[in-house]
Amino acid sequence: MTGLDERRLLRFPDGFVWGAATAAYQIEGAVAEDGRGQSIWDTFAHTDGRVARGDTGDVAADHYHRVGTDIALMRQLGLDAYRFSVAWPRVQPTGSGPANVAGLDFYVRLVDQLIGQGITPVLTLYHWDLPQELQDAGGWANRDTADRFAEYAALVAERIGDRVNLWSTLNEPWCSAYLGYGSGEHAPGLQDPATALTAAHHLMLAHGRATQSLRASLPTGTNVSIVLNLAAVYPASDTPEAHDAARRADAVANRLFLDPMLRDGYPADLIEDTKAITDWSFVHPGDEAIIGAPIDLLGLNYYMPAIVDVRRPAAPGEERNPLSGAWPGCADLDGVAVEGPVTGMGWPIDARGLADLLHRLRRDYPPIPIMITENGAAFPDKVDGGEVRDPARLGYLREHIAAVHGAVADGVDVRGYFVWSLLDNFEWAYGYEQRFGIIHVDYPTQQRTLKDSAHWYREVIRANAVDAPSGQPQSG
């Protein structure tokens, strides 16, 4: 059953945008074509032991050669919009200098074909594929990378600025900085908390500088945004210590990114909490004003909540793990696992985190339109008789879309929802083992098969409504 239950429809406002998202390195393949340079993810994936089973993005979903097929699938789903990322090393193979016309033209054709099919292109400039030459000069630990990024942004804007109305500078700077330089799970694979915080600042500076350069190149009225994976952080108990642990984790995961952009600079408690690691001298006078350049919309990616506490022995039946290097300054805190359903990644399924984040953004920050730019789940899907039954993903999407509906009904300004992901793809350090697509990809044949969740999502888009999870009160 992939239709909607008509008795339980929760309708969205007219004009609500329904989309699907992907990222360049995860789907494109064609890593040596049309002058593309090498990125940190090529290097990382080709380094032994970094990615499960030695998988790489060399071929991925071969989207570079199958754009026409993939756009036809988007049309079949009835997508209003498609969120993709531009590979920096296709545009500037070494991270600086003039545009590589053949590489940039791939995105010109993509955008033109999308528009031709009535699908709105939503463009992200950086989804983690830094040109390797810039890494050789220090990557995001080097302040100059922020200037290089602003130059790259201008090259893309000058070429396709007239056709794309919604731009995001960065996807999830949290991951680039903390997984790349803190825990080492992502490229470039470094493990140093001070460098992770330095990288986070340079990424935010890059966002601010790129926002300035986009404004200078894009037609008036074009929307500029950033995409953040905010963490829904909860204390493990009602003790003052657990609340303080949650405050600290929130500062490093959320307020470090939100406050300089939407309020007034880096939070004082964050600087105090991390003073044993860094003196923050990488922040120069005037940087926070650049980061605070006005944006038009905030992209929010949400997958799961995080429950934290100070380090203490686990209670019977409780599972605790030290917070990893992905939480700089929080080495004395634990993440606490709670009972409940999880995805194939082992990520807890709890849509309340999404609802709480949306309400919190409205409560704590100046008004800004929000787009859910990623949300979804991986499960070990199989094609059986030409079909893919994925009730767990469908249930995950239903619950989370219903949570978005609840926030919209409460007056939170959410403009749209993008499922992660259109296609199964290269899931970073997990390689092809984890399937997030609503469309199944059989990698040896590159055959695409719509999963049940894709058929259901098409009905959601058509109705501009989701059928409420059972147990949830019906509303209009």
CA atoms within 13 A on the CB side of 464: 11
With CB under 6 A as the contact rule, the residue among 10, 17, 20, 23 that binds ligand FCB is: 23
Contact map string, positions 374 to 413, toward ligand FCB, x by CB under 6 A: x---------------------------------------
With CB under 6 A as the contact rule, the residue among 229, 254, 274, 453 that binds ligand FCB is: 229
| Cβ nearer to ligand FCB, comparing 390 with 427 | 427
Min dist CB 276 to ligand FCB, Å, is 29
Both tokens assigned to 63: 């989207």
Min dist CB 385 to ligand FCB, Å, is 28
Min dist CB 21 to ligand FCB, Å, is 8
With CB under 6 A as the contact rule, the residue among 436, 455, 458, 465 that binds ligand FCB is: 436
| Cβ nearer to ligand FCB, comparing 64 with 428 | 428
Stretch that binds ligand FCB, among 133-141, 353-361, 420-428, 454-462 (CB under 6 A): 420-428
For residue 141, give the nearest of 157, 130, 152, 153 by alpha carbon. Answer: 130
Q: Which of 28, 185, 288, 374 is catalytic?
A: 374
Stretch that binds ligand FCB, among 8-16, 168-176, 198-206, 244-252 (CB under 6 A): 168-176
| Cβ nearer to ligand FCB, comparing 62 with 172 | 172
Both tokens assigned to 409: 């009904």
With CB under 6 A as the contact rule, the residue among 420, 432, 456, 457 that binds ligand FCB is: 420
Stretch that binds ligand FCB, among 167-175, 200-208, 255-263, 334-342 (CB under 6 A): 167-175
| Cβ nearer to ligand FCB, comparing 185 with 287 | 185
With CB under 6 A as the contact rule, the residue among 70, 172, 259, 424 that binds ligand FCB is: 172
| Cβ nearer to ligand FCB, comparing 23 with 245 | 23
With CB under 6 A as the contact rule, the residue among 428, 432, 456, 457 that binds ligand FCB is: 428
| Cβ nearer to ligand FCB, comparing 328 with 437 | 437
Contacts (Cβ under 8 Å, ≥6 apart) of 414:
358, 369, 370, 371, 372, 404, 407, 408
Min dist CB 25 to ligand FCB, Å, is 9
Binding residue count for ligand FCB, defined by CB under 6 A: 12
**Is residue 172 flagged as an active site residue?**
yes
| Cβ nearer to ligand FCB, comparing 282 with 457 | 457
Tell me the three-class secondary structure of 192-259, residue by residue: CHHHHHHHHHHHHHHHHHHHHHHHHHCCCCCEEEEEECCCEEEECCCCHHHHHHHHHHHHHHHHHHHH
Both tokens assigned to 382: 């199989």
| Cβ nearer to ligand FCB, comparing 108 with 345 | 345
Stretch that binds ligand FCB, among 76-84, 102-110, 170-178, 237-245 (CB under 6 A): 170-178
Asked if 347 and 377 touch (Cβ cutoff 8 Å), the reply is yes
With CB under 6 A as the contact rule, the residue among 2, 100, 168, 171 that binds ligand FCB is: 171
> Binding to ligand FCB by residue 175, rule CB under 6 A?
yes
Q: Which of 28, 172, 185, 288 is catalytic?
A: 172
Query: Among all residues, which ones are annotated catalytic?
Result: 172, 374
Task: Give the binding site for ligand FCB (CB under 6 A).
Answer: 23, 26, 171-172, 175, 229, 301, 374, 420, 427-428, 436
